[in-house]
Amino acid sequence: MFGCTTQNREIKNSLKVEFERKIPAHFSEKDFKMLSDFCNKLEVEELVNGYDGLYIRLFISYKHSDSVRLYTIKRRDDSVKIIVSELLIFYNSESSFIDSVYKSVSYPVSRSDHKELIRHLEKLNIYNLLDYSEINNYKIPTDSKNVFIEIANRNIYKLCFYPDLSLNSDINETKDIVGIINYLDRELNLKPVW
């Protein structure tokens, strides 16, 4: 169902439901530490052990900036919650960990029903995204606009990373993630980041 390399599988809860983590091999312990620190600073759930429902988190960092747009879509039972945050990240002097985060939060109303928004994301292949490391001929720039996506539910945690999608917009596999970002911006009446 998902396209990233699997690093870890485990049995979750007494129902013996298999839980799978699809994490790219290039994502290191240091990267996980930074992600965990980031979640703590933002006061949001860590998703690496799954979520009781559906949780989609999409980070877009702006080129040459410590600013990030964070899209959060949570579905539990029949309830869907959408949050968009504009973040300003302050690192320590060595840039080795996050010192603090300034967060401006909005709860945009989508043009269509929230359930329809999730169905449309499914049509845009959100569950089948490939990490950049799995995409042939993906160019990796330095100091670029990056996209990072996490998807979690009861059975899976998936993480994908994309350094500078605009540089790789001619590659078919990147068109899905660009389409998802553009769709969210249109649907939520947000100023486009792409």
pLDDT at 1: 33
Residue 28 has pLDDT above 50, yes or no: yes
The pLDDT-based confidence of 70 (bands split at 50, 70, 90) is: very high
Query: Is the pLDDT at 143 greater than 80, yes or no?
Result: no
Confidence class for position 99, pLDDT limits 50, 70, 90? confident
H or E, element range at 61: strand 54-61
95: left (phi over 0), alpha (psi -120 to 50) or beta: left
Output the pLDDT for position 2. 37
Share of the chain above pLDDT 90, in %: 34
The average confidence (pLDDT) of the chain is: 83
Using 50, 70 and 90 to split pLDDT, how confident is the model at 155?
Answer: very high
More confident residue, 100 or 55: 55
pLDDT at 4 over 70: no
Per-residue pLDDT tens digits for 29-54: 888 888 888 888 888 888 999 999 99
Residues in the chain: 194
What is the DSSP-derived secondary structure letter of residue 73? E
Q: Are 96 and 158 in contact (CB under 8 A)?
A: no
Q: Is the pLDDT of residue 16 over 80?
A: no
**19, 24, 28, 31 alpha-carbon torsion, rounded to 10°:** -90
Across 130-146, b (16+ Cβ under 10 Å) vs e yields bbbeebeebeeeeebbb
Nearest alpha carbon to residue 37 among 100, 93, 122, 95: 100
Q: What percent of the chain has pLDDT over 70?
A: 86
pLDDT of residue 11: 43
112 vs 46: CA distance, rounded Å:
28
Per-residue pLDDT band at 174 (split at 50, 70, 90): confident
DSSP secondary structure, 120-163, as one string: HHHHTTGGGPPPGGGSTT----SS--EEEEEEE-SSEEEEEEEE
Q: Kindly tell me if the per-residue pLDDT of 157 is higher than 90.
A: yes
